[in-house]
Amino acid sequence: MLLIRDINRLKKMIKRAKNKEKKIGLVPTMGFLHEGHLSLVRLALRKSDVLVVSIFVNPMQFAPSEDFRQYPRDLNRDMRQLRDEGVDLIFYPDTKRMYPPDYATAIEVQGLDQVLCGMSRPHHFRGVTAVVLKLFNIVNPDIAVFGKKDYQQAVIIKRMVKDLNLGVEIVLGKIIREKDGLALSSRNIYLSQKQRIDAVVLYESLQWIQRAFKNGLRDRKKALTKIRGMIRHRGGQIDYVEAVNKETLKPVRRLNKGTLIALAVNFGRTRLIDNTILR
C-alpha cells in the first residue's frame, strides 16, 4: 500500500495504470474512517482494478464558524484499516498544494446547492464540488463511490458529472448504521452519552415515516410535523426536515414512492444528517 502526497506523482502512476487498461476507482473521504467508509471501499474494490482512497479534510467545504479545525483526524488508524481492506493507494494531499494562495475557482450546481443543507451551509457544496472535481481531474477515475448518507451531495455530484461531460460513473453505497439505527458519522464521537441515545430518534422517525407511508399516509405536512415533534421531544434542534423529489430536490406536494425524506438536526453543537427514500 502506498501513501501518496504529491499530485503529479499520483497523476503519473494513474497514467501508467490507464495505459495498461486498468479500471481506476476512487473513494473520496475526509478520513477518520468508520464502517460506512469501509463499506464504500469494499464496493469500490469489487468494481475497479486499481483503487485510490483519498483522505483530505477539505477546508473549502467548512464555513469559518464550522468544525474544520476540530474535525477528527487519525491517519495511522485510517492507514491500518485501508491496508486490512487491501487498498492499493491512499492519496493524502497537502492543503497548500490543493489550494494555493491564488486559488479562485468555485463550482456551483444551481438550484441543487441552495436547498436542504445548502440553506444553513451556503458555501458548503461549492467546496464539495471543487474538491471532488479536482480529485476527479487528478485521479481520472472510471468509477467513484459516494455514500447515500450525504444524499444531496451525491445528487449534486451526479449533476455536475453529467453537466460537465465527465466520464466518471458515480456509484452510491448504502447508509451503514449502528445496531440501534444511528447512521455512522465521523461526527458521532462529539455526542455526549445522553445525546448519543437521543440521536437514535433520527432513525426512528425515518422508520416511522416508512411505516406510515406503507399504511397510506400521503400528507406531506402531517408527516413532517409528526417527525419534527418526535425529534424535538428528544432534544434535537431541527435544521430541516424535508420531503423532496430525489433528483430535483424540490419539495413534493404529496408523499410518493421514491420521495426523499431528508433531515439535519443539531444535538448540542453536533449536526447530524440522515435520510430515507420512501418505498
Residues known to be catalytic: 37
Whole-angstrom Cα Rg for the chain:
19
Report how many residues bind a copy of itself under the rule CB under 8 A: 26
Does 132 bind a copy of itself (CB under 8 A)? Our answer is no
Over the window 56 to 95, marking each residue x when it contacts a copy of itself by CB under 8 A and - when it does not, the resulting string is ----------------------------------------
Helix (H, G, I), strand (E, B) or coil at 239: strand
Task: Enumerate the β-bridge partners of residue 145.
Answer: 171
Of 109 and 265, which has the nearer Cβ to a copy of itself? Answer: 109
Calpha distance 196→205 (Å, rounded): 15
Does 108 bind a copy of itself (CB under 8 A)? Our answer is yes
Does 170 bind a copy of itself (CB under 8 A)? Our answer is no
Helix (H, G, I), strand (E, B) or coil at 261: strand
Cβ(117)–Cβ(68) below 8 Å: no
* Pair type for strands 2-4 and 89-91: parallel
- Minimum Å gap between C-beta 34 and a copy of itself is 28
Grid cell of 223 as nine digits: 408527516
Does 106 bind a copy of itself (CB under 8 A)? Our answer is yes
One of 63, 164, 189, 197 touching a copy of itself (CB under 8 A): 164
> Within 173-202, which residues bind a copy of itself (CB under 8 A)?
none
Calpha distance 127→105 (Å, rounded): 10
- The footprint of a copy of itself (CB under 8 A) covers 7, 11, 102-112, 130, 133-134, 137-138, 159-160, 163-167, 248
